[in-house]
Amino acid sequence: MRKGGKISPEKRLRILFVVVAEVSVIVLLTAITVATSLVSNAFIAKDADETISYIHDNPDYFFPKKESESSSTTSSTSNAAYNDTSTGSAESSSMETPPAPPDGDGGPGGGNMGDNPPPKPDGSAPSKDILAGLRFFTVVIKNDGQYSTNTTYNYDFDSTTSIEAANKVVSSGSTAGYYGDYRYNLFDTQEGKLAIFLLWTERLEPARIFIVNVGIGMGVGAILALVAIIFVSKLAVKPVEIANAKQRRFVSDASHELKTPLTIISANNEILEMMYGEDETTQTIDRQVKKMTSMIRSLTTLSKLGEVTKAEFAMVDLSSAYLDVCAEFTKTFEHEGKRLTNSIQEGLSINGVENDLRKLLSIYLDNARKYAKSYCHVTLFKEKGDIILRCSNDTLTPMEAGERNEIFERFYRTSDARGSKIEGSGIGLSIAKEIASIHHGSVNCVVSNEGEFIISANFKA
């Protein structure tokens, strides 16, 4: 299906089918992965926040007072239980090594803090084993600028690093979130802000592994889907290939069949002119025969453009080709009282079929000759790796904005052009578009603010 430098319409349709289907599969798989991740993270965060709230609501269980403290007068605030390891400003905080987290009965929920942990808000009893395995630390940022920390139940933070962590989460403006693998919550108290950091690696790590596995599964699924889509696309595009092949054969056969009657009509018209002399009737017949012959020639050209072979491609000096074509049109423009000017950059070459490229140049100039009011200016230049052919002219027939994308369609002519005496079938620019596509180029049409009609063709250098 690929001939020369061109991708056939069927091939383009198949590629588009594969791309759209594969992108749809990837978007769907990504959406499922993201949704699963968000839901999983939401449940993990909810469980962590509930655990932090339990710690906040039961300070006496996690930080039991010593007997000496119980018999003495203490602060009436609930935060007194959190103020264990150090108190002071950030600069003067103790750098002492925190005690190792207790294990077994010495940890949270252990025997030295009471055998029966307080119930949860829903009335259920928390597991002492789970409570014993919690790793967390607390920081109170007091209203007077002082800090109180308790780092008894964690491995990673001392009083200094815990204060740094608290300052960072407070400055972030969020009351809950993650600091590394620690989930934190901020609480407003009478003394200031209380930050509780709970190590949640045991829940986060399985979630991360799950997401990685889902990502790998998504990649494998996307690859398998691509293989299946490529196979299905061949079956889906097959009817289009058959229809296009039939269409090209019909155009070719119809063109061949129409040539014979047109030749007979033209010959009989010439006999009539010799017998009875040339008159308005014979002139009309002659014009219509020439118009039909030109249209058939254009249709034949259009049907054969898809049969370009790789061997026909070679480097073509587009600058030199344009000057040759331009020389053929110069006198025609002068005869019709129109100016043809050029601004051509020398030495611009592209890989292509020379006859086809010359045909495109001829179509652009012929289109300008037909519809220009007084002048046509052609520029050929290189810009950002592209070779650009631009043909601009004032116009006899105005164009609506919606018509600009349609002038390159087969047999399309504006309503003003159809009502005028301007010759043409509306197939020339569609041939130019096809030629540009074969050469990996594109065509475009714009109308400037001054009413100037501009058509262009862009090619990769």
pLDDT confidence of residue 1: 42
pLDDT category at 151 given cuts 50, 70, 90 is confident
Query: What value does the mean pLDDT of the chain take?
Result: 79
H or E element at residue 380: strand 372-383
> Higher model confidence: residue 65 or residue 341?
341
How far apart (Å, rounded) are the C-alpha atoms in residues 216 and 261?
67
Q: Does the pLDDT value for residue 75 go beyond 80?
A: no
Instruction: Please report, rounded to a whole number, the percentage of residues in the chain having pLDDT higher than 90.
Output: 23
Exposure of 100 by Cβ count < 10 A (0-12 exposed, 13-18 middle, 19+ buried)?
A: exposed
pTM (two decimals): 0.53
- Range 157-195 burial, b when 16+ CB lie within 10 A, else e: bbbbebbebbeebbeeeeeeebeebbbbbbbebebbbbb
Higher pLDDT, 126 or 210: 210
Element spanning 192, H or E: strand 192-199
Contact in structure between 431 and 363 (CB atoms under 8 Å): yes
Q: What is the pLDDT of residue 399?
A: 64
pLDDT of residue 413: 64
Mean pLDDT computed over 428-446:
85
- Contact between 431 and 415 under an 8 Å Cβ cutoff? The reply is no
pLDDT class for 179, splitting at 50, 70, 90? very high
Q: Is 445 helix (H, G, I), strand (E, B) or coil?
A: strand
Relative to beta strand 6-7, strand 176-179 is: unpaired
For residue 253, the model assigns a pLDDT of 76
Question: Any residues with CB less than 8 A from the CB of 296 and at least 6 apart, and which?
Answer: 255, 258, 259, 262
| pLDDT tens digits along 91-134 | 333 333 334 444 444 444 443 444 677 887 777 777 777 777 88
What CATH number belongs to 313-460? Answer: 3.30.565.10
Measure the CA–CA gap between 449 and 156, rounded to whole angstroms. 69
Confidence of residue 403 (pLDDT cuts 50, 70, 90): low
- Helix, strand, coil shares of the chain, percent, nearest 5, are 55, 20, 25
- pLDDT reported for residue 311: 57
145 DSSP assignment: S
State the average pLDDT over residues 23-34. Answer: 90
pLDDT of residue 77: 41
- Per residue in 233-272, pLDDT tens? 888 888 887 877 777 777 777 777 777 788 888 888 888 8
Three-state secondary structure call for residue 151 = strand
| SS3 at position 383 | strand
Backbone angles phi, psi at 32, to 5 degrees: -65, -45
Q: Where do the structural domains in the chain lie, given as residue ranges? A: 58-199, 313-460
